[in-house]
Structure 1
């Protein structure tokens, strides 16, 4: 066998370049709108009241205007139940249905300051269309679970807090401070804006949120 001489170098083949890196763009996940929460969403309303606190010691002095927000719920007869302290001494009241930005003027029909309850109505004929009146239930049992609905500070959409019934007793209502009435204490947090909202159990109203506690002080 004859020895082979040096081989000629082979011509380099075509170079293959790696594909350019592609930028990865995150796809935004659409946020689904909140689902209707049973009959409550079709009954709950947000109440805004402009009021003037009278000065009984100097009634000739006009008090300053105050604006407050509370909740209410539709009952039979095209009426809305709320707290008396939400609409007391009001000069102008508007209500909003949940999910509806329109504001409807409202008027006070009845007010009971001693038990901190009031009934208001809306003259607009189409306001109560598709609204669902809530029904009342019995006093909930101790340690049973309830849910409080309203519009507490920090947002404009319906809020739900759930807790247990921790006490059923007679207590002094902060609004009137006249005498004691039946009160159901729950572990769910009650903040300004929850006032007047329904406390629900088994799709029925078993109470109306009217005051919370900050330390040892009750707040309406």
Structure 2
């Protein structure tokens, strides 16, 4: 467990790749901290947006859901989705929402997803003053993907607030990652048959304890 929070948390949630549970983790963190939520770039609206998904899973009345800086229709890498609409994503368009509350910021895909020529998703983290939560899921190759993500964050001088393992446990994989990197390990998200607000609330209680609240 960490020390009790004394200032608003500014967390950036990224995954080691796509479909690793990043949006679920963001919803749990949002509920745990009763934080605001912001998805800077949404690429693809079907079946729904990540903001709408998180909103549907969060039960508390305090969280505010801020509009995306870019809402792109094509479900693809943001630079491709933007090009399809003849848009060039600009770094200057990304400004943290005005809030005194905790804030959970959800990325798009992995850490080095391209937004525009010369602009990666990771380039936004330091200017926005965010700490990073990395979501990892066990699969063949996940050790490599997790270590690469954490190494990229270290090389950029970005602070990792914690690492979340999502899905079925794999002690050999997880122990190696934990011992090799020394990053703080947050509560596990286990395999769930159905994700509901009640499930998110249950996990939020575990994460709230981890944060010392």
TM-score range, shorter-chain basis? Answer: under 0.3
Give the TM-score normalised by the residue count of structure 2.
0.25
The structure where strand makes up a greater share of residues is 1
Give the TM-score normalised by the residue count of structure 1.
0.25
RCO greater where, 1 or 2, for CA within 8 Å and sep 6 or more? 2
Question: Which structure has the larger Rg over C-alpha atoms?
Answer: 1
